[in-house]
Each structure stands twice: as structure tokens, then as C-alpha cells.
């Protein structure tokens, strides 16, 4: 550190470069976290498939069959 004090312009350039690198890393990290959150929010859980199985039981027979056909088309 003593060596850097002899070159104040070098010290300020290094500090500026370090801050710029940290800003880039922060922006990249933010984008990565956003992508991960989007992936997690679109993740289908076991509970989702359990609900799919129980929903047709609540509908009358003819509507349940139509719902299954629609569900198969979506998958």
C-alpha cells in the first residue's frame, strides 16, 4: 500500500477500475437473479399435479372428460 501512495493517479485509476468492475458484476448478478426468479416462478410443483388429479372429481362426468382433453393438449 505504501507503494501506491507514491503514485496517487495510479491509486485513483485502480480504485475507479475496481468500482467499474464491481458495478458490472452487480448488474450481471442482478440479471442472473432475475432469470432464476423467473425460472422458479414457472416451475411446476408436485402440488400442481396433485391438483390436476383432483379437479376432474369436482366436475360432472362429461365436463371432466373435456377438461382432461384440454389439459392433454396444453401439455
If asked whether residues 20 and 51 sit together in one domain, one would say: no
Please enumerate in sequence order all residues whose Cβ is within 8 A of that of 5, keeping only pairs 6 or more positions apart, or say none.
11
φ and ψ at residue 69, rounded to 5 degrees: -65, -45
Alpha helical stretches, state H, the chain: 2-5, 8-41, 46-58, 61-74
If asked whether residues 48 and 36 sit together in one domain, one would say: no
Unique residue bearing C-alpha cell 422458479 = 40
If asked whether residues 23 and 55 sit together in one domain, one would say: no
If asked whether residues 28 and 54 sit together in one domain, one would say: no
What residues make up the domain containing 14?
1-43
Total number of domains in the chain: 2
If asked whether residues 3 and 33 sit together in one domain, one would say: yes
Unique residue bearing C-alpha cell 485513483 = 12
Cα dihedral across residues 52, 57, 61, 62: positive or negative: negative
If asked whether residues 28 and 50 sit together in one domain, one would say: no
If asked whether residues 13 and 29 sit together in one domain, one would say: yes
Per-residue pLDDT of the chain (75 residues; tens, 9 = 90+): 677 778 888 889 999 999 999 999 999 999 999 999 998 888 878 888 888 878 766 656 555 555 555 556 555
Amino acid at each position: 500500500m505504501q507503494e501506491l501512495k507514491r503514485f496517487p493517479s495510479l491509486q485513483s485509476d485502480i480504485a475507479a477500475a475496481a468500482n467499474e468492475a464491481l458495478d458490472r458484476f452487480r448488474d450481471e448478478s442482478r440479471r442472473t437473479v432475475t432469470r432464476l426468479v423467473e425460472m422458479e416462478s414457472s416451475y411446476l410443483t408436485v402440488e400442481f399435479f396433485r391438483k390436476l388429479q383432483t379437479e376432474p372429481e369436482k366436475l360432472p362426468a362429461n365436463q371432466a372428460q373435456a377438461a382432461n382433453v384440454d389439459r392433454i393438449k396444453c401439455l
